[in-house]
Structure 1
Amino acid sequence: MYVSQQPILHVEARVKNNSDGIIVRTDLVRDEVTQWLIDNFVVLSLGQTISSFGGLSEPHAQVLDSILVAECSGGNLDSGAYRLQQVQLDVQAYQLRTQSDQQSPPNTQIFDESGNGDDVPRARTLALPNKDLDGLWESLEFDQPIQSTILSAISRMVSFSARRLDKWTINWNRLILIWGPPGTGKTSFCRGLAQKLSIRLGKHYPQSKLIEINAHSLGSKFFGESGKLVNRVLESIELLLEAEEDTFVCMFMDEIETLAARRDRALSSNEPFDAIRAVDALLTGLDKLKEHPNVIVVCTSNLVTALDQAFLDRVDIKQYIPQLSSRPIYKIYKECLEELGRHGIIEGTSFDVVQVAPTDPQTALQYVEQPAEQLILPTFDDMLLHYKMFPDAIPKLLADAVLESIGLSGRTVRRLPALSLVLYSNRARCDIRTAIQALRMGIASECQAMAEATMADEHSGTAAPNGQ
C-alpha cells in the first residue's frame, strides 16, 4: 500500500538573549515546544507568530521570545493554513548570536590579515544565527518561490551528506552559484540563506558559522602570490572543519569571477600565469572542502559567462536571480512607506472602495480615503482587484510608480521611498499623496541617470550592467 509523505511544517522558536550571555539548551526547548503545539493547536498558518505561551512549562516559557510558523515544504497543500494532523511538525529552537559571541577560530589568523595593502580583512567569521542578519531573509522579494526551493534543497543536501555517502558513488561538491544582474539581492540572499540554514539544520549541527571570503583581497601585486593566498585561506577553512566537526560552516564568496575567471581569457592578460594559478588553487581547495560533510560553499556572480568552465562544472546548484517585476516592487514600496508611517514621517491613512448608496447594491462604486492611526496600503492583488479603476486613488498611483520603476535595481527600489522624501519634500511630516509624488520624482531621476549612463557607454564603446 502506497502512503504519501506528509508535508513538513517548519516552525522557528526563538529563545531570548540573556544579558549574562548564558546559552540555553535549545534541544530541550525544541522538544517541549513541539509537544505544546500539538497539544494546544489544531491549525497553524504560515507567517503566524505566537508570543503567548500559556500551558507551556514555566522554565521554557520564560526563555522563549516568539514562535514563528515559517514555511511548509513537500506535499501538495496550497493553503496557507495547515491542520497539524496532516503535516509533519519540524520545530527548530535557536538563540541569536551577537558580536560579543564572536571568537576567532584556531588556525584562522589569515582571516584577520588584510590584503592588497589596505585594512580590509581577507575574511570575516560570524556565529550563526546572528542578530545582524535577523530579518534579512524575510525582506527579500521574488516572483517565484526561489527562497523556499533553495533552502529546502540545500538542507536536504547537507542532511544526506551527514550520512557519509560514498564519495565515489555520490559525487557532489555542495557548491551553489547565485547569479544575475547587479542589484537584484544576490549578496543578501546568500547571507540570509546561511542564517536560515543554521536554524533549519539545528538538529544536526548545534553550532554554525558564516565565513565570508573577500575575493578581491586575495589578489596580489606580487607575481605568484594570489594563488598562495587562495590556498592559505582554503587550508585554514579545512583545518577549522576538521577541528569542529559538529559545526555547520557556510563559506560565502561574493563576485566569484574575481577568483574563478576563465583561464583561456587569462592567457591574454598581463600576468596570465598568476591568474591561472589563482583559479587552480581555488579549484583544488574546493575539491578538498567537499570531503567534509559540514560545509557548503555559496558564491555570487554578475558575469556567469566570465567564469572558468571547470568551476562551473563543479557547481551543483545554479540559481538565477532576475530583475524585480511589478509585484515585488509594489511590496517593497508598500513596506517602506508603511515603515515611514509607523515612525510618524507619513500621516496615517486608510483606503476603501464603497458603493455610492450603501443600501442600493446597483449604485456605482467610489474610492474613499480618510485619516487613520496608521498607514496601511492594500496588497498588490487588492490593488488590481479594487483600486485599479480609480486613476487618482493612492494604490493606483503607487502602481503607476511601480511601472515606472521596472528596470531599476533592487537596492535602488528599496532606498527610493525614504531618499525621495529627503530630496523632494521639505516637510517633517507629509501625507501619502505627497510621499508618492516625491517617490515618482526620485524614480524619474534614477531612470534619467541610467539613460545618460547608457548613452555614455555607447559612445565609449562599453556597456556597464545596471547597478554597477
Structure 2
Amino acid sequence: MSLSSQQQDTTTPQEHAWEEDEEEEELQNFVTRDVELSIHVYQLQRQGAVEEYGDSGSGDMDDSVMMAHHWTLPCEELEGVWDSLIFEDRLEVKLLEYVYTTILFSDKNVNPHLVSWNRVVLLHGPPGTGKTSLCRGLAQTLGIRLSRRFHFTKLLEINCHSLFSKWFSESGKLVHRMFDQIWRMVDDDDTFVCVLIDIAFIDRADIKMYIGVPPPKAIYSILCSSLNELWRAGIIHANHPLPERKDLWHYSAHNPEHSQILSQTTDLKRISELAQGMSGRAIRKLPFLAHANYLQVSVSTMSAFLEALQRTVHDEQLSNAQLREERS
C-alpha cells in the first residue's frame, strides 16, 4: 500500500478507535531516514539481587538486619520491566530525560550553587501503581543506555523498615553504615549508582510525580499486552493479536476483513472503562483470574477470553466496593 493510500485511510471515520494523542499521530508519520538511531548492545548479568546485611545490635550474630538489596545492572531479573511500563504523558521518558540532564550538567561542571539540582526524584501514589517497577526499570534502562559513559551500574534498594530496627539506639549506626557503603560506590567515576528508598522528603526532591491509577487508555494497553502474551503462548487462539491503541488507525469499519478485530477491540475498550479505579498491579492479574475462574481450558478463543475478562472485572469491582464499605 502506498503512503498516499494510508493517508487516505486515516481520514475515514473510525467508530471503534479511540482518538489518538498528537504525539502518537506524529509517531505514525515519521520517515526512517529522518530518525537518528541509537543502538545499544549489552549482556545481562545472571546474578539477581544480593542481600546486604548489618548487625542489629542485639549481640546475637544470627539476629542481623537485612538493610538493602543490591543489583549489578543490567541483569536478567529486571529484563523486560521497562517495556512493561504503561503510564500517561510519557512519564518514564520524562524521567529518562531528567537523568540525562543531571549527567550533562555534572559533566559540564555546572555550578550547583548557581543552578541547583539534588538528583532526587519523588514518586508518590496509591499502592500497586508501579512506582517500584518504574524505579527498577529506569535503573535497568540507564544501565544499558549509559554503558559508554559508565562501565558499571548499581541499583541499591534500601529497606527503611529494617534500618530502623527495634533496637532504636542502633538505627543511627545502621543508617550510617548503609550510606557509607553508598559513598564508597559513588567514589568510583566509572560506576553509576541508583538508590531506591521507599520514604523521601518532598522538599529535597527535584521532581515530584504522582503515580495514580491508570486511565482507560492505559488500561487498554496493559490488558492488550497481557492478552497478546497469552496469544503468543498459545493459551488464546486467534488469527491475529489484538492491535495496540497506536495501531487502531490501520483498521477501517468499512472493511469486512476488519470487523472481527474491531469488535474485539471495542469489547476491550469497554472492559478498560469498567476497570477504572483499579491499580496497574490489579489489572495485570485480571487475565489470570479470568482464566482460573471462568475458563479452565488449555486453549480459549479471544472472544471467550474477553467475556471472561469482563465478568472478572465486574467481580473485582464488586469486591473492592464491599471492602471500601466495610472500612467506612
- Equivalent residue number for residue 112 of structure 1: 53
- Equivalent residue number for residue 376 of structure 1: 241
Question: How far did residue 133 of structure 1 move?
Answer: 1.2
**Is 1:227–2:166 an aligned residue pair?**
no
- Equivalent residue number for residue 327 of structure 1: 217
Report the Cα distance in structure 2 between the residues aligned to 1:338 and 1:165, rounded to whole angstroms.
47
Judged with a 3 Å threshold, the aligned counterparts in structure 2 of structure 1 residues 336 and 197 are, in CA distance, closer, same or farther, namely same
2:263 to 372, 393, 396: 393
SS in 2 for 1:121: strand
Higher strand proportion, which one?
1
RMSD over aligned Cα atoms: 2.9
Work out whether residues 114 and 217 of structure 1, in 8 Å CA contact, stay in contact via their aligned partners in 2.
Answer: no
User: Which residues in structure 2 correspond to 1:247-286 (within 5 Å)?
Assistant: 247-254=191-198, 256=199, 260=200
SS in 1 for 2:88: coil
Report the Cα distance in structure 2 between the residues aligned to 1:87 and 1:383, rounded to whole angstroms.
22
Report the Cα distance in structure 2 between the residues aligned to 1:184 and 1:118, rounded to whole angstroms.
34
Q: Kindly tell me the number of residue pairs found equivalent between the two proteins.
A: 293
- Equivalent residue number for residue 92 of structure 1: 40
Report the Cα distance in structure 1 between the residues aligned to 2:178 and 2:41, rounded to whole angstroms.
32
1:449 to 294, 297, 319: 319
1:139 to 56, 68, 84: 84
1:423 to 293, 297, 304: 293
- Equivalent residue number for residue 434 of structure 1: 304
Indicate the structure (1 or 2) with the bigger Cα radius of gyration: 1
Amino acid at match of 1:377: L
Report the Cα distance in structure 2 between the residues aligned to 1:384 and 1:327, rounded to whole angstroms.
18
Judged with a 3 Å threshold, the aligned counterparts in structure 2 of structure 1 residues 111 and 322 are, in CA distance, closer, same or farther, namely same
- Equivalent residue number for residue 67 of structure 2: 122
Work out whether residues 114 and 122 of structure 1, in 8 Å CA contact, stay in contact via their aligned partners in 2.
Answer: no
Report the Cα distance in structure 2 between the residues aligned to 1:235 and 1:78, rounded to whole angstroms.
45
Judged with a 3 Å threshold, the aligned counterparts in structure 2 of structure 1 residues 343 and 253 are, in CA distance, closer, same or farther, namely same
Judged with a 3 Å threshold, the aligned counterparts in structure 2 of structure 1 residues 447 and 89 are, in CA distance, closer, same or farther, namely closer
SS in 1 for 2:181: helix
Q: Any unmatched runs of 5+ in structure 2?
A: 1-25
Question: How far did residue 345 of structure 1 move?
Answer: 1.4
SS in 2 for 1:433: helix
- Equivalent residue number for residue 100 of structure 2: 155
Judged with a 3 Å threshold, the aligned counterparts in structure 2 of structure 1 residues 170 and 395 are, in CA distance, closer, same or farther, namely closer
Amino acid at match of 1:81: F
Amino acid at match of 1:97: Q
SS in 1 for 2:278: coil
Percentage identity across paired residues of the two chains: 35
Question: How far did residue 385 of structure 1 move?
Answer: 7.1
| TM superposition score normalised by structure 2 | 0.79
Work out whether residues 383 and 396 of structure 1, in 8 Å CA contact, stay in contact via their aligned partners in 2.
Answer: no
Report the Cα distance in structure 1 between the residues aligned to 2:249 and 2:31, rounded to whole angstroms.
27
User: Which residues in structure 2 correspond to 1:401-412 (within 5 Å)?
Assistant: 401-412=271-282
Work out whether residues 210 and 251 of structure 1, in 8 Å CA contact, stay in contact via their aligned partners in 2.
Answer: yes
2:182 to 226, 237, 243: 237
